[in-house]
Structure 1
Amino acid sequence: MSRGFPVLIVDDDFHVATLHASYVEAVPGFRVVGHAGNAQQALQAFHSLRPELVLLDVYLPDGSGLDVLRQLDCDVMMLSAAADVTSLRMALHRGALAYLLKPFGQEDLAQRLRSYARYRRLLEKSIQLDQDIVERARRSLLGTETSALSSPARTRSATEQSILEALTGAQSASGGAALSALEVAEQVGVSRATAQRYLSSLADDGAVDIQLRYGTTGRPEHRYAKRR
C-alpha cells in the first residue's frame, strides 16, 4: 500500500458514485481506483483492479450486491438504501464490515473509513495475535476504540500528553497544519523512533489522525494531527 488503500465503488448511479468517490478521496490514506455500475462490472473490476476495499450497493440493475458480496475476496462495506432487516443480516452474514444507509453525509463515511484504517494498521503491525489485539481490532473496526480508550479511566503518559500538546499547538498556530514524526520529536525532546511509536499508538487509539503528503518520488510522508 504505497499510496493508500485502493477502493472500488459499486453503484448504478454515476452521480452518487462520483459523490462517494469525493468522500473517499477526502480521507487520508484512501484512493479510489475505479467505479462499477452493475454486478458484472463489479466482478470484472475486482479481478482487474484488485481493490482492498469495496463500497457496494445492494440494488444493482443486473442482480443483487449481496450476491456480489460473497464473490469478493476483499473487505467490503455496504452503502445502500436497502433498509430491510433481511438485507442487513445477509450482508453481515456474508462478511460485510459495515452497513451504511443512504443518504448519508461525508463525515458518516469518513468515520467508517478512519475506523477501518485503524483496524488495518493495528493488524499490520501485529506479528502474532493475542486476545487483547483481537478485541482492539474489533473495537477499532466498529468505531468504539476511541471512546473506550479516551475515557477518563485511561490516564495518558507524560510523553503522550506532550505529543498531543505539540500537535494542538501546531494546529492552532498554523490553521490546522499537521506535523511529521521528526517535527514532533524535535518539539517534545525525544528521538524520532520514540515519537513515531507514540504517534502510531495515539493513531490506533483514535486520538490522532494520519495524513499522507505525496512528493514527486518515493513513499508518501506521514504527518499527524490531533483529532478534533
Structure 2
Amino acid sequence: MSQISVLIVEDDVPIAQINQRFVEKVEGFKVTGIATNLDDAREMLTLLKPDLVLLDVFFPDASGVDLLWYIRQNHLSTDVIMITAAKEINAVQEAIRGGAIDYIIKPIVFERFQQSLLRYKAYRQKINQVQLVDQEEVDHLLGTVGKGSVSSQSEVPKGINPLTLQKVEEVIRETQTNSITAEELGQQIGVSRTTARRYLEYLVSIGKVRADLAYGAVGRPERRYYLKSPAQKNQESLS
C-alpha cells in the first residue's frame, strides 16, 4: 500500500509543525503540504490531491468548516480529520454533518492522534481490498472509521494493548498467505514469541483467526494462525 498523503490546514505555524512531526511518526503517512489559510488550502487541494486533510476550525477570515463543506463538494476522494480548540457542541455537529471522520480537541495527545491515523489507515486498507461487501463488512468499515479509539481498553482483556492488537491483525493481513506463526509475528513487530502467541490466541478466542498445526519435512509441527475470511465467519454463524 502506498503512503497516505496528508495536507495540514492550520494558521498557527508552530502547531502545524507539531502536527507534521506527529504525522511523520506514524508509519504509512507523509505530509505533502501545509496551508496556513483557506485560500492556500483550496489551491493545494487541487494541486496535491491529498488523501487526508488535518483541518483546524478557527481562521481569521472564515471557519474551517466552510472548507470541510468545500472538500465534500469538490474533492470527494479526500477525507478530513478536524483538529481544533473548538469545544462547542455545534462545531462538533457541523463537522459530523460535513463528513469529518474524526474530531480531535487541542492540545493534541499523540496517542489519541496516532489512534485516529491508524483507524484511517485500516479503513483505507479495507476498502482497497474489497469490491462487494456484506453487512459484517459494512459494520466493520463504519466501526473502523467512526469509533473514538481503535479499540477501547474495556473491550480487550488485561495484557492486550489495542494498538498492538491492530498491528498484529495488519501484519497477518499483509502476509501473502494470510497466515503466520507466533515466532514470525514476534520478529515482525518486535515482541517475544510468548507475547505474540498471547495476541494470536486472543484473536482465536474472539473468532477473527483460526489456528492449525502445520507439519514440515523435519522437526515438530508448528501452530500457524490464519485470518478468517468473511465466508468462513458467515458459515460459522449459521452452524
The TM-score by the shorter chain falls in which range?
A: 0.5 to 0.7
Residue of structure 2 equivalent to 1:106: 110
Residue of structure 2 equivalent to 1:166: 184
Corresponding residue SS for 2:32: strand
Deviation at 1:172, TM superposition (A): 4.0
Question: Quick one: structure 1 residues 172 and 118, their matched pair in 2 at CA, closer, same or farther if it must change by over 3 Å?
Answer: closer
Deviation at 1:142, TM superposition (A): 2.8
Residue of structure 2 equivalent to 1:44: 43
Cα RMSD of the aligned pairs, angstroms, is 3.3
Query: Any gaps of 5 or more consecutive residues in structure 2?
Result: 158-176, 193-212, 216-223, 231-239
Question: Quick one: structure 1 residues 125 and 58, their matched pair in 2 at CA, closer, same or farther if it must change by over 3 Å?
Answer: same
Question: Quick one: structure 1 residues 145 and 105, their matched pair in 2 at CA, closer, same or farther if it must change by over 3 Å?
Answer: closer
Question: Quick one: structure 1 residues 146 and 105, their matched pair in 2 at CA, closer, same or farther if it must change by over 3 Å?
Answer: closer
Q: Is the 8 A contact 1:24 1:31 kept in 2?
A: yes
Question: Quick one: structure 1 residues 197 and 126, their matched pair in 2 at CA, closer, same or farther if it must change by over 3 Å?
Answer: farther
Residue of structure 2 equivalent to 1:123: 127
Q: Is the 8 A contact 1:78 1:91 kept in 2?
A: yes
In 2, Cα distance between the equivalents of 1:47 and 1:169? 42
Which runs of structure 1 show a deviation greater than 2 angstroms over 4 or more consecutive aligned residues? 142-148, 159-170, 195-201
Q: 1:96 aligns with which of 100, 103, 108?
A: 100
In 1, Cα distance between the equivalents of 2:141 and 2:82? 20
Deviation at 1:139, TM superposition (A): 1.2
Residue of structure 1 equivalent to 2:88: 84
Residue of structure 2 equivalent to 1:8: 7
Deviation at 1:166, TM superposition (A): 3.2
Higher relative contact order (CA 8 A, sep 6+): 1
In 2, Cα distance between the equivalents of 1:76 and 1:88? 13
Corresponding residue SS for 1:129: coil
C-alpha deviations, 1:117-141, integer Å up to 9, x for none? 1111111101212211110011111
The percent of aligned pairs where both chains have the same amino acid is: 34
Question: Quick one: structure 1 residues 19 and 120, their matched pair in 2 at CA, closer, same or farther if it must change by over 3 Å?
Answer: same
Residue of structure 2 equivalent to 1:30: 29
In 2, Cα distance between the equivalents of 1:132 and 1:29? 26
Residue of structure 1 equivalent to 2:141: 137
Alignment size in residue pairs: 176
Question: Quick one: structure 1 residues 128 and 107, their matched pair in 2 at CA, closer, same or farther if it must change by over 3 Å?
Answer: same
Q: Is the 8 A contact 1:81 1:101 kept in 2?
A: yes
Question: Quick one: structure 1 residues 196 and 26, their matched pair in 2 at CA, closer, same or farther if it must change by over 3 Å?
Answer: farther
Deviation at 1:189, TM superposition (A): 6.5
